[in-house]
Structure 1
Amino acid sequence: MIVPDVSQNAAAVADHYDELDPVYRRVWGEHVHHGLWATGRETPAEAVEALVHAVGDRLRLMPGEACVDIGCGYGSTARQLALTHKVSVTGLTLSAEQARYAAAHPVPGVDIHLRDWLANGLSDASAAAAWAIESSEHMVDKQAFFAEAHRVLAPGGRLVVCAWLAETGASGWKVRHLLEPICREGRLPSMGMREDYEAMAMAAGFAIDDYEDVSQRVARTWTICARRLVKALLVDREIRRLALGGRNRISVLSFPRLILAYRTGAMRYGIFTLSKAR
């Protein structure tokens, strides 16, 4: 497990997304997660939606099921899956700005809450399916993240986790110059390896049904975001202010490190498909 030299907590994560809200929506989009390319000819928007479809397919969502979006961001993934699979979704985010945006874009069956997943208040066995797309990284206690998911899911429930992962056995320079700074700059309390996630999931009671490393299919996300950021810096005064003078400015300027982390293999992107026993 990679742990940054500066401790991160839920308040720091919330502040990060609240302050950089205009930057993220301009540079990364409403989904705030990677795109998934199959042919390489997809537009960035199509690739982002493809990742959502991949999650929905792995969850085998059925109409009428109650679902949970753990770390839902602006609620875009929850809205997409609710509309395409006819399910109801409860989403949780730490960011007040994200919750405000979600409230301004309502969809029937989607309910977004400003709440920490580690104190989610949801009932035992109340959901048939849950997903966490690039949110487990922000959890201070990742073992509790899995334990809460297991508690909230009904017997037979499914969980899909899309996660930023550290390369297994990453060399010292990759940890010092890429992985640890990415954790610090991105407000990640820690970054686990595949083996860490699988061990924590099994300790919480999950069966591991599948794992797929899609690093090469998502990596171009950061070159696209970097180009968008450069363009925004040139034309948008508010973006310049946040990127160059805000409290979380170091996060905005870390895109080259993320590009290099993927190209060197220091960082991986994995999709875990898990299930709770019936």
Structure 2
Amino acid sequence: MTSALQPRWPTPDLHAAIKDHYDGLIELYESLWGEHIHHGYWAEGEPDPGRHAAQVRLVEELIRFGPVPAGSRVLDAGCGIGASAVLLAQRLECRVDGITLSAEQIGRAETKAAEGGVSGRTAFRLADALHTDYPDGTFDVVWALESCELMPDKRAFLAECLRVLKPGGTLLVATWCARDDRLDADESRLLGRIYRDFVVSHVLPLGHYAELSAGLGFTDVRTADWSERVSDTWKLSSDIVKPVVRDPSMVWKLVRAKGMDIFRFLNSVPLMKQAYERGVMRYGVLRATRPL
């Protein structure tokens, strides 16, 4: 493998960087992307529903890909500000435990759950998704929406998912992926810059996730490449960021509030757009079952 497909930081440094990044930029993320801070899904041949509707559509498509049964006990591993957990609780009456490394995200998720009327079916807490304290066989579904790319040890994460799932339970992952493991030096540098700016450990080709899952004992492992359905996310995100970048007073206001790392954050959007256009970055989904 090339170096771009290996962890960028030691795990303690990565966890500290993730916490600082999301605690510091949570308001900016939500103001730019909305409550669903992840890719959107644009169905082929359908009218453009708008960016926010496309983000909800991606959650709906992942639910269908599982599928996620109504009333499931769900672990949302890397729950962000809780938008997916709230949707699962509202639409499917799931009971959702959301875990994250960011205290600021927990506070925002709890507020969203209260506003959505699902505080009784959701719980959010600080926890490392690689090493949770849930008993074996706790959950019907483990849901990981754009969090797997943050995990420094993909195999350990998948093994923990297997452990906490009930027999017959479903793992659902949607994650940034590398095109393959034959990246040239320039492609590796591009991914490395994205890792730095988005505080990502590393990405893998989608097939590697399938191999790891099967090797751990998961069955009914299925994958799908959604890159063509989600890539418009970065065209639209570039349009959102441009006015900020072009307004020096806005940039320096953000620098005073958030620090110099804001430059890396603003630069990360065109880098992701470039990575999709060059085919270096892909977007994959995986579902797998814990055997009975």
TM-score after normalising by structure 2: 0.88
C-alpha displacement of 1:171: 3.4
Q: Unpaired runs of 5+ in structure 1?
A: none
**1:187-198 superposed matches below 5 A:** 187-198=199-210
- Which among 264, 280, 283 is matched to residue 269 of structure 1? 283
C-alpha displacement of 1:3: 3.0
- Which among 210, 216, 227 is matched to residue 239 of structure 2? 227
- Which among 2, 6, 19 is matched to residue 3 of structure 1? 6
C-alpha displacement of 1:231: 2.8
Provide the residue aligned with 1:147 in structure 2: 159
Between the two proteins, the alignment pairs up a number of residues equal to 278
- Summarize the Cα distance change of 1:242–1:201 in structure 2 as closer, same or farther, 3 Å threshold: farther
Moved more, 134-143 or 232-241: 232-241
> CA RMSD of the aligned region, Å?
2.1
- Which among 85, 91, 94 is matched to residue 87 of structure 1? 94
The structure whose RCO (Cα within 8 Å, separation 6+) is larger is: 1
Provide the residue aligned with 1:12 in structure 2: 17
Deviations 1:198-251 (A, max 9, x none): 122122221243211110110111121222122345385686327984335313
Provide the residue aligned with 1:138 in structure 2: 150
- Summarize the Cα distance change of 1:180–1:54 in structure 2 as closer, same or farther, 3 Å threshold: same
Percent pairwise identity? 33
3-state SS in 1 of match to 2:112? coil
Report if the CA contact (8 A) 1:147-1:204 is conserved.
yes
C-alpha displacement of 1:145: 0.5
Deviations 1:98-133 (A, max 9, x none): 111112222230111122112221111010111101
Moved more, 196-205 or 233-242: 233-242
TM-score after normalising by structure 1: 0.92
Report if the CA contact (8 A) 1:174-1:266 is conserved.
no
Moved more, 145-154 or 242-251: 242-251
Report if the CA contact (8 A) 1:128-1:154 is conserved.
yes
> Would you say 1:257 and 2:278 are equivalent positions?
no
> Would you say 1:74 and 2:87 are equivalent positions?
no
Moved more, 125-134 or 102-111: 102-111
- Which among 219, 227, 244 is matched to residue 207 of structure 1? 219
- Which among 249, 260, 267 is matched to residue 246 of structure 1? 260
Provide the residue aligned with 1:184 in structure 2: 196
Give 2:270's aligned amino acid: P
